[in-house]
Every structure is written in C-alpha cells, then in structure tokens.
Structure 1
C-alpha cells in the first residue's frame, strides 16, 4: 500500500468546565488558544482527530467519582460539557479524513482503542499504518495520563507523544508529575 502513515491526535477533554467552568484552571485558560491552533494545524496536515469529552449523568455526585471529587462537572447536555469555543472555532474550517468525538464516562476511555480500530478498518488500514499518536488536553494528571496508558496497553509498538505545551494539570506540580510518570512509561514528551 503506497498510502502514507497515519498520525492520530487524541485531544482530551478540552471542555468548558475544565477551562472556565466548574473546575476552572488558569493553566488551561492560558494555553487553550495555543491548543486550538495546534489541533487546527494538525488537522490541516492530515492527522486523524479524536476528541474525548468527559461525560457525566445528572446524578454525578452519587457516583463513585462524584463522592471522591464532589464538584458536578461535564454533565451531559449542560454548557460546561461542550468543547471550548476556541477549539470549536479552530476546527470549523478543517476537514480531517477522520474526526470523531468520543464521550467517556470515566478518566480513560476503554472504548478509544476500539474506535480507532473501527476507523482503521473503515479506511482499509491496519495498526501498522499508524505512525504515532499525539495526545494533549486536560487534565494532564487525570484524563490525559489515563488515556495515554489505555493507548499504550492497546498499541504497545506505536510511538506515543505527549504535547506538553497543550496540556494543563490540576496544579502545575501535578502536571509535571504526570509528565514525569509518562516519560518513565516510554512516552515521548514534547515541550
């Protein structure tokens, strides 16, 4: 097959609640425009784009996660659940070959590898056709690292890069701790 290798971007939870909403984050506010420009640039360069959305029910506070993090956020259908306006605007004039939104009920999407495999099959491609994954979004120390680990387990021979300048953690310290942990697990950290 003469087709070029595929680069797949995993854009994690770039939602209003993680930027200016219920779990507002100054680091995310500071880099969301850069993140949106990066996503737009990658889409225009031909990357396949997968966007995850943290997605919770109305009874979030009664869930296991809600009992440990008692801040209602990313409630499906509410404004804070929506992708950031900056990202929506940046992506509005792109037409990637693959552009999927994946709603996930927990930190890491166990369905993400299957969704990727489905797209590969739909395009008559295989895992060997993936050049690399590029992962970025919010929060580095919770959902970014969780999805990175899910992908590492599912695609052990595929290069995975973390675009650190397009990530933000709950705190700057926890962001760095997550980057250090991912580097120890053989992810490439791009700054």
Structure 2
C-alpha cells in the first residue's frame, strides 16, 4: 500500500506565534511521531507552508484576518523546530501556498503526480481553514483514493471550529481518525 502523508502548515506562527494556540502546541509531538511512522514505513510525505509577503495586510485574506503571519523567510514562517530536528526536509516536497489550499498541489494532482498513491492522510493546522481546504482539494482530484484526517494530529482556530471542520469533512466522505466523542 502506497500511503501519502500531507503535513499542513506546522509553522511557528500557527503554533507559538501570532496565531498560536495551546491546542496547536499540544499536537506537535503527535505530528512528529506520525512523520516518523511514515518514514519508518518508507511512505512518501509532503509538507505545505502558508506563505505570505510584506503586503499581506493589503490582500483579501489580510483584510479579513488583519494579523501578519507566516511572512516568507521569517521565524514565524519556519516549520516547528521539533519537526526540523525529526526529519530531513530535503527529502520531501514542500508546497509554499499563498492561500488556504495549495494550487501547486492541485496542479500536481491534476497532472498525475500522485496517481500511484492508494491512501492519503492529512495532519496539521488549521483544521478549519487549511486542512479542510486541502482535504477537499485532494478529494476533488482523486475521488477514488481514500482520504483520511487524523483529528488527534490537527488543531483549529477554536475547538468548536475544529469539530465543525471534522464534521464537514466527514460529510464529504473524508475519513476521520481519532475523533472525540
């Protein structure tokens, strides 16, 4: 079985920075363990990085969320230090994305880059924005490939919006692992 792990936006600004939450801090070790599990099995892993620029506050997203975050080449834009210590990122594709879903990932999906994958699992931040966007995007381009989100390795803006996103993904035939309640 050729499984693919997609690690969404495990960046400092979402964990301990300008948009960080205690829930995000709490999932870091679980995310590291999941990455190590995939590496041990020899399964491919890809990462996404929310990537904005100095003009962020002038963008539509910046006008709706006027908190500068993940500005390229800053400490907040970098992946969490535990992830950097746990894996050699040069072995993996990193999609820098300027919006919630990765358009470059969508192009790769459309062009058959991941056609040999039999199962895709997503983990990361924020469940209710970027995880759900990328999960739906993947499901759109690979409708016959089972897509799973491990809820225990995800954190949302709030607990409620995290739970709402999990419910919405479930309705879109995305499997949810480790769901509470």
Scaled by the length of structure 1, the TM-score of the pair is 0.88
Show the counterpart of 2:98: 105
C-alpha distance in 2 between matches for 1:66 and 1:14: 20
1:27 aligns with 2:23: yes
Once superposed, which parts of structure 1, at least 4 consecutive aligned residues long, lie more than 4 Å away?
Answer: 116-119
**Is the Cα–Cα contact under 8 Å of residues 110 and 141 in structure 2 kept in the other structure?**
no
Larger Rg: 1
Runs of 5+ consecutive residues of structure 1 not aligned to the other structure: 121-125
Show the counterpart of 1:141: 128
* Aligned-pair CA distance for 1:48: 0.8
C-alpha distance in 1 between matches for 2:159 and 2:49: 22
1:154 aligns with 2:141: yes
Runs of 5+ consecutive residues of structure 2 not aligned to the other structure: none
- Residue pairs, 1:1-191, within 5 angstroms: 5-92=1-88, 99-115=92-108, 120=113, 127=115, 129-191=116-178
* Aligned-pair CA distance for 1:36: 1.0
Q: Considering only aligned residues, what root-mean-square deviation do their CA atoms show, in Å?
A: 1.7
Moved more, 38-47 or 111-120: 111-120
**Is the Cα–Cα contact under 8 Å of residues 43 and 95 in structure 1 kept in the other structure?**
no
Number of residues of Structure 1 aligned to a counterpart in Structure 2: 178
